[in-house]
Amino acid sequence: MRRCSETLEAEMTPAEQQLLQNLIRKENFSGPHLEIGTAAGGTLCKMMKCFEEQTRPKFVIVDRMTYFPDQLSIVKENLATNGLSEKGVDFRTTTSAEAFALAEKQDDHFDFMLVDASHKILAVMADLRWMRLLNVGGIACFHDYADKFPGVKLSIDRFLSRYKNYEKIGLADTLLAIRKTAPCETREVSPLDRAYSVMMYLPLEVRRKINKSKKQKAA
Ligand SMILES: C[S@@+](CC[C@H](N)C(=O)[O-])C[C@H]1O[C@@H](n2cnc3c(N)ncnc32)[C@H](O)[C@@H]1O
């Protein structure tokens, strides 16, 4: 059982939560906000509480809701406990890949995104396609941007080196914030980027399993 399913807390450090809330309050965007990977909704509640109820933009949540039993009910309970109406939340209970295909088809756009789902390189590179749906001037935050999560770190470093219409605007612990400064000349995440993630997947998995078995032996 995940700890957050009982505590209903955000799976983020205080410094990461502070950066997230400072950005949301400062920008005060009116367009939809997206969280990919919500766990118990701890961070979702904190983000939503940055706004007054009357002026709060729509929040879209993408999560396959299999992180722990009854995940969706627990997220809803968390909202209620925080005095937040679930009416303002558009729950998309599916994988990030399926939700992206639907969002792209219906031409959804977002002012703010928090990406915190699977940390494997194939998934993170696929998640970066959501940047196509980020409005110019909008902000995307990525959790666990650290050497400890090479799938996240390598994908984002490659993305930032190839797509010059994004700039880093903040980093607190492992939460990285970037801004889209101009429209993209080519669609974010090319077949070459995807091929890179396919090529890196196996070596990263082997390294992860070796590290895991070393830790288990040491314990
Ligand atoms: C690390 S937790 C998110 C923590 C949350 N953002 C917070 O700050 O409390 C990861 C979440 O991503 C979801 N998830 C993982 N892989 C996913 C995928 N491929 N598609 C959709 N959701 C996914 C899990 O169900 C889980 O709820």
pLDDT tens string 31-44: 999 999 999 999 99
Residues 115-157 pLDDT 10s? 999 999 999 999 999 999 999 999 999 999 999 999 999 999 9
- Domain count for the chain, please give it: 1
Q: What CATH number does residue 39 fall under?
A: 3.40.50.150
Residues 47 and 57: beta-carbon distance below 8 Å: no
Whole-structure pTM value: 0.95
Given this model, what pLDDT does residue 217 score? 87
Which atom of ligand 1 lies at the shortest distance from residue 123's CA?
Answer: 19
**Ligand 1: does its nearest atom lie under 6 Å from the Cβ of 151?**
no
- From the alpha carbon of 41, which atom of ligand 1 is closest? 9
Range of the domain at 28: 4-218
Ligand 1 atom closest to the Cα of residue 66 is 25
CA of 206 to the centre of ligand 1 (A): 23
Q: Residue 218 and residue 206: Cα distance in Å, rounded?
A: 18
Q: Is the CB of 47 under 6 A from ligand 1?
A: no
